[in-house]
Amino acid sequence: MVSTPVVIDATGLHYSELNRSLRETVLGGQSRIEVRNVYGQRYIGTNLAGDVHLDIFGTPGNDLGAFMDGPSIAVHGNAQDGCGNTMNEGQIVVHGRAGDIAGLSARGGKVFIRDSVGYRVGIHMKEYESKRPCLVVGGTAQDFLGEYMAGGVLVVLGLNLQEGEPHRARFIGTGMHGGVIYLRGHVEAHQLGREVGVAELDTDDRATLEGLVSEFCRHFGQDEKAILGGRFTKLFPLYLRPYGRLYTY
């Protein structure tokens, strides 16, 4: 039962006004909202909870969905830095690219980004029992991908790479002690952090991956079979305590 969405025009609105307006709209009983003419307003989705869906047209500002607990957001444009920062539950779908630190310290929920992302994406993502955040990037990522990951799933598909073109990210998974990264495409050992192990995907991995790729394709109209047919590598933490030999007592 899809109700007609309410349209909010963000032109000239400061982020505090826009977010207040969104919250009032939601509290007023609306669960589907379109926000248009967004130019850099921050923290959209942060103060919302529950079963709400936002369609954002324009370029949302930093910390989109930061600390968000439940709602789902679709961005029809590019996102900036901090997308899904410490997100607890919910979903963010970006029909474009995102900036740095997407998914920083995320604790749950899902983020799908169609194109590429910046630095330190997925840094310190967490996980506990059933709470397992997932972040899927259709393009490539830059340095420090998955830096000191403690949990969750990071998928980077490299769909915009040419045939044989390798990933360029460096310091991938540096400090990783939990979670997993599935990388589609070629990456060299020197691009990985010292704490990262490389393996083939097992059946559980493939099941998780297929689920996420399937969702990704539904959002962005991609060919699931073609994507899954590519070469995937699993990057995982070698040690539970990567810094055991660091201190003298």
Partner 1 sequence: MREGAWFEGLQNPYRDDKVMAACGLFGVLDTSGRATGASDVVRAMANMHDRSNGLGGGFAVYGLYPDRADLYALHVMYMREEARPEAEAIIRGHFSIAQAEPVPTRPGARVSDPPDFWRYFVTPQNLDHQESSDDYVIQQVMRINTGVSGAFVFSSGKDMAVLKGVGYPEDIADYFRLDDYQGYMWVGHGRFPTNTPGWWGGAHPFNILDWTVVHNGEISSYGINVRHLEMFGYHCTMQTDTEVIAYAVDLLMRRHGLPVEVVADVLAPPFWSHLEREDEETQALHRALRQVYASLLMNGPFTIIIAHQGEMIGLTDRIRLRPLTAATKGERLFLSSEEASIRLVSPELDSVWTPIGGEPVVGRLGLSPREAPPELLALRPERIVQSTESVARTS
Partner 2 sequence: MTMKTYLPPRFAIQRRDDRCIRCQVCVRQCSFGAQAYDAEDDVVIGYDDKCVACHRCVIFCPTQALTITNTPLDYRENFNWRPEAIEDITRQAETGGMLLTGMGDDKSQPIYWDRLLLNASQVTNPSIDPLREPMELRTYLGRKPDRVEVQPRTGQGGGVKLKTRIAPQVAIEAPMLFSAMSYGAVSLNVHESLARAAHEAGVLFNTGEGGLHPKLYRYGDNTIVQVASGRFGVHPEYLKAARVIEIKIGQGAKPGIGGHLPGEKVSVDVAATRMIPAGTDALSPAPQHDIYSIEDLSQLIYALKEATHYEKPVCVKIAAVHNSAAIASGMVRAGADIIALDGLRGSTGAAPKVIRDNVGIPIELAIAAVDTRLRQEGIRNQASLIAAGGFRGSADVIKAIALGADAVYIGTAALIALGCTVCQQCHTGRCAWGICTTDLALTKRINPEIGTRRLVNLLRGWSLEIQDMLGGMGINALESLRGNRDHLRGVGLTDSELAVLGVRLAGT
Residues that bind partner 2 (CB under 8 A): 144, 147-148, 171, 174-175, 193, 242-243, 246, 248
Those residues whose C-beta lies under 8 Å from the C-beta of residue 150, and which sit 6 or more positions away, are 124, 125, 126, 127, 177, 178, 179
Q: Which amino acid is at 104?
A: L
For residue 184, the cross-strand partners are 232
**Restricting to residues 215-234, which ones interact with partner 1 according to CB under 8 A?**
220-223
The residue from 33, 63, 85, 119 that contacts partner 1 (CB under 8 A) is: 119
Residue 238 three-state SS: coil
Residue 40 three-state SS: coil
Q: How far is the CB of 206 from partner 2 (least distance, A)?
A: 29
Q: How far apart are the first and last CA of the chain?
A: 63
**Restricting to residues 166-205, which ones interact with partner 1 according to CB under 8 A?**
168, 170, 190
* Other residues' Cβ atoms within 10 Å of the Cβ of residue 55: 17
Stretch that binds partner 1, among 84-92, 164-172, 198-206, 232-240 (CB under 8 A): 164-172
> Residue 57, interface with partner 1 (CB under 8 A)?
yes
Residue 38 · residue 62 · CB < 8 Å: no
Smaller CB separation from partner 2, 112 or 148: 148
- The answer for 129, left when phi > 0, alpha when psi is -120 to 50, beta otherwise, is left
Q: In residues, how long is the chain?
A: 249
- Give the sheet arrangement for strand 134-137, strand by strand: 6-9, 32-39, 53-59, 69-76, 89-94, 110-113, 134-137, 150-156, 178-184, 232-237, 196-199
147 binds, among partner 2, partner 1, none (CB under 5 to 8 A by kind): partner 2
The residue from 20, 37, 197, 198 that contacts partner 1 (CB under 8 A) is: 37
**Restricting to residues 5-24, which ones interact with partner 1 according to CB under 8 A?**
15
231 binds, among partner 2, partner 1, none (CB under 5 to 8 A by kind): none
User: How many residues touch partner 1 (CB under 8 A)?
Assistant: 46
The residue from 19, 86, 142, 174 that contacts partner 1 (CB under 8 A) is: 142
Those residues whose C-beta lies under 8 Å from the C-beta of residue 100, and which sit 6 or more positions away, are 81, 82, 117, 118, 119, 120, 121
Q: How far is the CB of 175 from partner 2 (least distance, A)?
A: 4
Q: How far is the CB of 220 from partner 1 (least distance, A)?
A: 5
Integer CA distances (angstroms), 228 to 93, 211, 213, in order? 20, 11, 8
Smaller CB separation from partner 1, 171 or 236: 171
Which spans of this chain sit near partner 1 (rule: CB under 8 A)? Answer: 15, 36-40, 42, 57-62, 76-78, 80-81, 95-97, 99-100, 114-116, 118-119, 138-140, 142-144, 159-162, 165, 168, 170, 190, 220-223
